Amino acid sequence: MPEAWARRAHMDAAGYDAAVARVEADPEGFWRDVAGRLDWIKAPSQIKDVSFDKADFHIRWYADGVLNVSANCLDRHLPHRADDVAIIWEGDDPADSRKITYREAHEEVCRMANVLKSQGVRKGDRVTIYMPMIPEAAYAMLACSRIGAVHSVIFGGFSPDSIAGRIKDCDSRFVITADEGLRGGKIVPLKMNVDLALTSCPGVEKVLVIRRTGAHWLEHGGRDVAYEPLRDAASTDCPPEPMGAEDPLFILYTSGSTGKPKGVLHTTGGYLTWASWTHELVFDYRAGEIFWCTADVGWVTGHSYIVYGPLANGATTLIFEGVPNYPTTSRFWEVIDKHQVEIFYTAPTALRALMREGEGPVQKTSRKSLRLLGSVGEPINPEAWLWYHRVVGEGRCPIVDTWWQTETGACLVSPLPGATALKPGSASKPLPGVKLQLVDAEGVVLEGAVSGNLCLTDSWPGQMRTVYGDHQRFFDTYFSTYPGKYFTGDGCRRDEDGYYWITGRVDDVINVSGHRLGTAEIESALVGHHVVAEAAVVGFPHDIKGQGIYAFVTLNVGVAATEELRGQLVRWVRQEIGPFAAPDVIQFAPGLPKTRSGKIMRRILRKVAENDLTNLGDTTTLADPSVVDDLVKNRAGA
Ligand code: PRX
């Protein structure tokens, strides 16, 4: 770790140890101080009130505190930072970019909040946001938080069916979208997707349509409203609604190992405290720095590190509409030079794809402004880490490999620049106050250098509070496997220095290009096709995506297994869920390996998909062991 880092960082190694000791000795005082970084209308006197036990299960932080999130992200910066840039917007087309000051962002958010109110949105209402990466996406989130509405952002890559499911699940009566999106020179028909979704959502009363490309859109009278005329007429004054710390802030749907996506619910005080604190600590953020997180606001990374964390800290946050390889594979690095980005945060999958292009596209740019690099979303293989460090950061920028989940709100495990010596591929150590534990399949606690299932034995302010509309599912999913602990679903190794190395999911969730997908969702899409009798989906190692999608499909009797049908099924899944869920491989299988009680033995399917055929394990418990021979013989060339 360079000396200079240890000198300048918010937290050096001794500071880290002191913080860990203090949170043990005086948790109330510690967490009270952390929350003190926000502006509270009423400071909390109750700090932590948590039990993971079944009989008395509840999670509350700062429960009697009162605050407003948008006021923390905007208003409080106005006295001393009104003319600083809050948002740099870089369009898909490199000729398109814009800077928005805190004063302007505040005005825009107030206008949008007033428009929402004029359309009938009230405190507690759920508002669905399906938007391209334009500043209005952030305004929409902040406008909801300003008036106490609960936003549910849906990634622009999701299909009409997926949108409809999410709208219905949280009973959302309002949608904010744009005419079209633009990514990599291609049009994304957002409004059209919303129209299709709404054919099955009669509860939606208003759709606010923001102009991005200016394309014509079909107006459904009484329901659809063009945003700009309302915006122009709206007041720039909208007093922020005082919110209880435990009032809901947003819902974000995420995939699990079973059933339909869960509406992860985050609340106001604890979430913002966590997003803001971790943004400062992990990225060692300093006032005036330019911070670029390349995620989409449709994922939690975009929520916490494009919008809420950076803006709560008065940073300049960069919103990028495009993709890393358009118009050329130098785009990321050109944007860094153009806007003098100091902190850059991206996903390993993007790095692996860019690595394949060689060093040339990187080296023709300067990147002198960079001082810190971050990684998120999936394990970063040491090869990609070293490339990121040597080629992108020219050896001078530390890398923070940040482990966290939609459920955790923001980072939980990460090196702190200036405090932690780096090991390529390890997310290293928990943040102060984060209590990790490794357990075996039976829940026995494992000590020392060992691999196991990653749990948390205590809460942190940014923890999700419930699954929207299904509190029982929240408990069952995360707290019933190992009673008294939160189970992350991840496997992990701890080394002799106490560093953590996340190895990936141990449940039926796969991570494809940093996108989290439940295999059950893809299976359910496949069996929804009229020719499919049964389907089983597993992940397999993929050079660029981290994991690829391998689907075993049994067709109805009499249906011919053709190449054309294979293509049809891939298109079907794209259409049912979204393009990123399209299977990489479909293997037609006359039968799937099942136990005598009818349970599919995924272990065997994973081995076949991974081409690890020498080690299929015990197949004698199968109802029909011969299906395995067929699977192996007809293995698709993945
Ligand atoms: O398996 C872990 C992986 O991504 C999962 C969480 O996915 P999601 O809720 O979509 O949030 C992604 C962005 C925070 C985790 O259970 N994951 C995330 N970050 C890392 C990671 N795996 C290894 N290393 C990471 N840094």
- Ligand 1 atom nearest 299 alpha carbon: 10
- Among residues 170, 189, 186, 169, the alpha carbon closest in space to that of 178 is found at 189
- Other CB atoms within a 10 A radius of the CB of residue 196 amount to 15
- Rounded CA separation 578/572 (Å): 9
User: What share of residues in the chain are helix, strand, coil (percent, to 5)?
Assistant: 35, 25, 40
Give 155-168 pLDDT, tens digit per residue. 999 999 999 999 99
Ligand 1 centroid to residue 488 C-alpha, Å:
10
Query: Is the CB of 254 within 6 Å of ligand 1?
Result: yes
Q: What angle do CA 105, 110, 115 make, to 5 degrees?
A: 125
* pLDDT for residue 256: 84
Evaluate: CB of 400 within 6 angstroms of ligand 1. Answer: no
Q: What is the interface pTM, i.e. ipTM, of the complex?
A: 0.99
Those residues with Cβ within 8 angstroms of residue 222's Cβ, 6 or more apart along the chain or in another chain: none
Q: Which position has the higher pLDDT, 353 or 7?
A: 353
Give the Å distance between the CA of 378 and the centre of ligand 1: 5
Predicted TM-score (pTM) of the model is 0.96
**More confident position, 145 or 626:** 145
Residue 638 has pLDDT above 60, yes or no: no
DSSP category for residue 42: B
User: How many CB atoms are located within 10 Å of the residue 54 CB?
Assistant: 11
For the chain, give the number of residues. 638
Helix extents (H) in 283-330: 300-302, 309-312
Helix (H, G, I), strand (E, B) or coil at 46: coil
Are 247 and 509 contacting, i.e. CB atoms less than 8 angstroms apart? no
Q: Which atom of ligand 1 is nearest to the CA of 509?
A: 1
Q: In DSSP terms, which residues pair with 594 in a beta bridge?
A: 600
Ligand 1 centre distance from Cα of residue 470 (Å): 23
Whether the pLDDT of residue 536 is over 70: the answer is yes
Could you tell me where the beta strands, DSSP code E, fall in 529-619? 532-542, 546-555, 585-588
Over the stretch 33-87, which tens digit does the pLDDT of each residue have? 999 999 999 999 999 999 999 999 999 999 999 999 999 999 999 999 999 999 9
Better pLDDT: 518 or 258? 518
**pLDDT the model gives residue 31:** 98
Q: For residues 282 and 278, what is the distance between their CA atoms, to the nearest angstrom?
A: 5
Is any ligand 1 atom within 6 A of the Cβ of residue 502? yes
Can you give the pLDDT at residue 313?
97
pLDDT of 636 higher than 90: no
CA-nearest residue, atom 4 of ligand 1:
377
The preferred substitution site among 271, 376, 378 for testing ligand 1, maximizing ligand atoms within 8 Å of CB, is 378
Is pLDDT at 615 greater than 90 in this prediction?
A: no
Cα-based distances in Å from 487 to 370, 413, 456, 506, 516: 36, 15, 7, 11, 17
**pLDDT at position 616:** 83
**Contact assessment for residue 61 and residue 67, using Cβ atoms and an 8 Å cutoff:** no
Å from CA of 123 to ligand 1 middle: 32
Cα(276) to ligand 1 centroid in Å equals: 19
| Per-residue confidence (pLDDT) for residue 289, from 0 to 100 | 95
Residue 505 CB–ligand 1 contact under 6 Å = yes
Residue 213 counted as an annotated binding residue: no
pLDDT at 5: 63
409 lines ligand 1 (CB under 6 A): no
Contact present, 225 and 120 (Cβ < 8 Å): no
**Is the Cβ atom of 406 under 6 angstroms away from ligand 1?**
yes
Closest CA to 81 of 231, 302, 289, 343: 289
Give the CA radius of gyration of the chain: 24
- Assess whether the C-beta atom of 301 lies below 6 angstroms from ligand 1: yes
Pocket mutation for ligand 1, best pick of 254, 265, 346, 376 (most atoms within 8 Å of C-beta) = 376
Closest CA to 576 of 608, 637, 535: 535
Per-residue confidence (pLDDT) for residue 619, from 0 to 100: 82
pLDDT digits (tens, 9 = 90+) for 195-218: 999 999 999 999 999 999 999 999
pLDDT score, position 454: 98
| Residues 567 and 582 sit within 8 Å (Cβ to Cβ) | no
Binding site membership of 507 for ligand 1 (Cβ less than 6 Å) = no
Choose the residue to mutate in 511, 519, 521 for probing ligand 1, maximizing ligand atoms within 8 Å of C-beta. Answer: 511
Was 36 annotated as part of a binding site?
A: no
Which string of b and e fits 415-427 if b means at least 16 CB within 10 Å? bbbbbbebbbbbb
Residue 455's identity, in one-letter code, is C
pLDDT at residue 433, as a whole number: 98
**Best mutation site among 405, 406, 507 for ligand 1 pocket (most ligand atoms within 8 Å of CB):** 405
Beta carbon of 490 within 6 Å of any ligand 1 atom = yes
The confidence score (pLDDT) of residue 171 equals 98
* pLDDT tens-digit map of 406-415: 999 999 999 9
Average pLDDT over all residues of the chain: 96
Could you report the per-residue pLDDT of 248-278, keeping only the tens digit for each? 999 999 998 887 899 999 999 999 999 999 9
Q: Is 516 in the pocket of ligand 1 (CB under 6 A)?
A: yes
The three-class DSSP label of residue 407 is helix
- Of the chain, the percentage scoring pLDDT greater than 70 comes to 98
Residue 416 has a pLDDT of 96
Q: 453 in ligand 1 pocket by Cβ < 6 Å?
A: no
pLDDT in tens, 484-500: 999 999 999 999 999 99
Does 2 have pLDDT greater than 80?
Answer: no
- Percent of the chain scoring above 90 in pLDDT: 92
- What 468-475 contacts at long range (C-beta under 8 Å, 24+ apart), as own/partner pairs, is 468/169, 468/170, 468/251, 468/262, 468/263, 468/264, 468/265, 469/169, 469/170, 469/263, 470/262, 473/262, 474/262, 475/54, 475/57
Q: For position 597, what pLDDT does the model report?
A: 85
